[in-house]
Structure 1
């Protein structure tokens, strides 16, 4: 999957946070909702601009961030 087809960053939108292309839905929001127990179905129903592919792109983006070590230290 090419996450760049779905995720962009624009300093004029949400202070440059990564967002789903064409929306103001941030990667951070999607992860927060998933961490709080939301299902894929709930996300797709609540945010019609999202697609299964855009949700998959979030995980592909995170995988690349981890591989590039674009993350902070995790306290023990």
Structure 2
């Protein structure tokens, strides 16, 4: 299964350590839309997850910050 998400940012910068932010967003979506699935994944924090993710953003990095030309991040 693949998701393509377009996120409109408040500004054109996000921290280079973006993975925590996007994983938090993904977890929040699971929690909001399917609590049973969320609990099956995260009730036991040490359980290996059966998914992975990658982020393509079309931005450049300068001093530990991603810069976006048009404030859109593609995930």
**TM-score under structure 1 normalisation?**
0.27
In our comparison, the structure showing a higher alpha carbon Rg is 2
Higher helix share: 1
TM-score using structure 2 length: 0.27
Normalized per residue, the structure richer in strand is: 2
